[in-house]
Every structure is written in C-alpha cells, then in structure tokens.
Amino acid sequence: MATVLGSGEHRYRVVDDWARLPDGWDFRDVAAVAVDSKDRVYVFNRGTHPMIVFDREGNFLRAWGEGLFNRAHGLHIDADDNLYCTDDGDHTVRKLTPEGKVLLTIGVPDQPAPFLSGRPFNRCTHTALSPKGEIYVSDGYGNSCVHKYSPDGKHLMCWGTTGTDPGQFNIPHNVATDAEGWVYVADRENHRVQVFDGNGRYEAQWNNMHRPCALYCCGGAKQPTFIIGELGPGMPVNAHHTNLGPRLTITDAKGGVIARLGGEHGPGNEPGKFLSPHGLAVDSRGDIYVGEVSYTNWPNMQPGIPVPAKLRTLQKLEKLA
C-alpha cells in the first residue's frame, strides 16, 4: 500500500525507489535536485557520478561531472535550462549547460575567502536568480552573507554578517527568489527564513520552523507558495523530541503554514519519512523531488547508532488530485 502524506489540496503519494540507477551505481548523499523545462530531473550528489539525469518516470538518461566537483551542495536551473551548481567543497558556483559544459565559474576553485570576511566565497551553499538574471549566492558555512552578481558574473554587492538580528545570519543555507524579485534566505541555525528586496533591504522574517535547510518557490507569480525542508534535531539532548522534523513545510508568500509533510515522530528511513531534506524541486505536474544528505547527518540524528548499509537519499512525492 502506497504511503500518502499531507491532507486536502496538499496530498502526495510517495513513489518508492523512483530513480532507476545503472547497476552498481549509488547516489551516496543527494545534496540538491532540479527540474528542467522538459521535466528532466537533475540529481546533484556526492557519489562517483556527481550529476545524474532522469526523465520524470525515473529512467536514467545520462551522467556527468566526474572530476569537476569537490562536494555537491546547491543546484538551480534557469529558464534556458542552464544549471547553477554550488560546490561548497571548492568554494565555487558554476553555470553549465544541461550536458555539463561549463559556461561561467564564479569564485576561485580551492581558494576560500578568509573565514567570516564577507568576501566570496567560504563554503557557499546555493544560488537563485532575479527576474533580470542577476545571481544571488548564499555564503554559507564559512561566511554569513549573500552576494549579488550580474548575469555575466560581475560582483555587484554583498549584505549580511553573523548574528541573530534582522539581516544577520547564522548559516545562510539556501536562497530563493520570486517573480517580483524578492529574495528569501533560509537562515538555518536562526530557525527562520528572512525576506529581502533585490538590494538586500530587510523586509520580514518567517519563524515557527526548525533549522530550515531546503527552500523552493513555486505556485506562479500571482500566488507563490514555498516548500521548506526542515532538518530535525541536531543535538543528543533533543534527538527524540517530537514535532521538530525532519519534514517538509508548505507556506504562503507571507510564511503562513499551509501544510506539513511528515516529521511528527522524528527521522526515519522508511518511505515518507525524512532524514535530512537538503534540496527540493517541483516539476510541471506539482510532484516534489527531495534530496537528502542522510549519510552526512546520520551521526547527528542517531548518535551512537551505526549507519545502516543503505539510507534513502532521494524521494519523489507525487501530487494527488
């Protein structure tokens, strides 16, 4: 019997073992997912083959990126199906064609900026594009800021510093934009999403979430909605607390919670449960693809428990009518 998550207009059937990998292949951790104009699904992962591409039924199409990436982290796709791959292991953002040809590199590979310097990049995490094609980069683990670039990669500005006040960050882990140009930043360890205008002016913040990690804007220009992947407890003291995730939360454009998927009773490796939702994408039919860094986060989520032989790192949630 299929697992169903959510209720009302937000019900999803879990498609177990959706992606059909070639024999002997493994994703390891799936850091990010993106869907192009033809509903092809790009899986940016930390296995031997960093970028693996499937059709919407889960059939393998191709793979590329071997020897190019250090540590997959973020993935965004533009209207022309170009990919923006954020590599927090070598501190770069690369723009590539769907076949893997590098068109633009922002940052110098393997040369991180000084810790908390505000200079690009120190373990950058994700990218998003403005309606004009400007590039926003959340930066990240070794910085506490957002950078803005021109479409051709010229650095325009930067905002943010470490802290808990409005406009400050404690691991800006993900960034998204909407059709009007507002910028949304998953301020992970401050347990909030912050909202800015296109030049970094603070507008609002959304609370009532636990370690927002993944962030995706969907629903169209008139009524955008957001899907947020929340990590579960990361400390032994609250490892078994309920209602903290990991889970997916769907919100309106003001951060009001519309639905929550999973997470009531903590992490799990079964279909429909989550371990560490790290990357999200939605296809033309409203199906959600969830990438998880389960192997990386297992020691934090399940301290003292050996890592199972196989963890789930990619799930498809099929939207029900």
Give pLDDT tens digits along the chain (321 positions). Answer: 789 999 889 999 999 889 999 999 999 999 999 999 999 999 999 999 999 999 999 999 999 999 999 999 999 999 999 999 999 999 999 999 999 999 999 999 999 999 999 999 999 999 999 999 999 999 999 999 999 999 999 999 999 999 999 999 999 999 999 999 999 999 999 999 999 999 999 999 999 999 999 999 997 878 899 999 999 888 888 888 899 999 999 999 999 999 999 998 889 999 999 999 999 999 999 999 999 999 999 988 888 889 998 999 999 999 998
- What is the structure's pLDDT at 239? 82
Q: Report the pLDDT value the prediction gives residue 219, as an integer from 0 to 100.
A: 79
Q: Is the dihedral of CA 68, 84, 176, 110 positive or negative?
A: positive
Q: Are strands 202-206 and 192-196 parallel, antiparallel or unpaired?
A: antiparallel
If we measure between CA atoms, which residue out of 176, 218, 181 comes closest to residue 193?
176
- Residue 157 · residue 198 · CB < 8 Å: no
Q: What are phi and psi of 204, to 5 degrees?
A: -165, 175
Q: Find all residues with CB under 8 Å of 116, minimum gap 6, and list them.
A: 122, 142, 143, 144, 161, 162
In this structure, what token pair is assigned to residue 152?
């051709």
Q: Which residues touch 211 (CB under 8 Å, ≥6 apart)?
A: 188, 189, 191, 230, 231, 232, 234, 245
Domains and CATH numbers, the chain: 4-319 (2.120.10.30)
